[in-house]
Amino acid sequence: MVTHSGDGDTYWDIVQSGAEQAAVKDNVEFLYSHDDEAGRQAQLVQTAIDQKVDGLIVTLAKPEAMEAAVRKAVEAGIPVVTINSGQDHSTEFGALAHIGQDEAVAGEVVGRELEARGHSKALCVLHEQGNVGHEERCAGVREGFGGEVENLYVDGTNMPGVESSIEARIQSDPDVDTVVTLGAPFAPTAAKAVRQAGGDAEVNTFDLNAQVARGLKDGTIGFAVDQQPYLQGYEAVDLLWLHLYNGNMLGGGQPVLTGPQLVTQDDAADLEKYTDRGTR
């Protein structure tokens, strides 16, 4: 498995946990690497090819940078499954299947929920410029929401900077009544920024971790969209094993969707036991 993000990121820790559990069940050796720079991620795919792995799981957050490496793996006879990002490019690049959520659809779900909650202006916080999935999420929010959506680009590697950027935007525009973050680690930071700005905008987020589950419980976060990262890691490993062992294929060439699942305060108590053990 070669991803565009990894250790220290709660989302990818959960993906890795699911993949490792499936590898134990299937009695296969699981190798994991990641790099947030697309060129280096492509080099890691080449390393996997050189190791003559039996199967490859890869993310396509920046598809153009990854295309040549993925095609090379396919040409080498290595079955490839894409997860999380790059759904629209997966089949084109030769992958067997894509496992994840349709980001545009997930965004529309968020937009409709914001509408139902009576919001009128949303701030969509993009923490990784160039990530096609993030752009699709905010575009989907705009599509599903009857109000105004403004994109705010921040540097996700600098959390204090993320906080100050959101705080400044809330202070300068009191009409913003909801902030949407695109990753679970950014939701508590956004909630803090809103408080420090003296605002009352509701914070909602894509993705789930233990902090978000606690935020749902105490009301500092309104709702979250869970794309079930544990399932993405688990099903990708299991799919490859089943394909190699028995010629099986999930989805019939169509994306295998793991989300979006909308979770709110009503779900928080049940979610806590899963997030505390690192599987949601």
The predicted structure's pLDDT at residue 273: 87
Model confidence pTM above 0.75:
yes
- Superfamily of the domain at 2-102+228-259: Response regulator (3.40.50.2300)
Domain ranges of the chain: 2-102+228-259, 103-226
pLDDT (tens digit per residue) in 70-107: 999 999 999 999 999 999 999 999 999 999 999 999 99
For 172-225, how does the pLDDT look when each residue is reduced to its tens digit (9 = 90+)?
999 999 999 999 999 999 999 999 999 999 999 999 999 999 999 999 999 999
Check whether domain 103-226 has CATH 3.30.70.260, yes or no: no
**pLDDT digits 0-9 by tens, 128-157:** 988 888 999 999 999 999 999 999 999 999
State the amino acid at position 75 in one-letter form: E
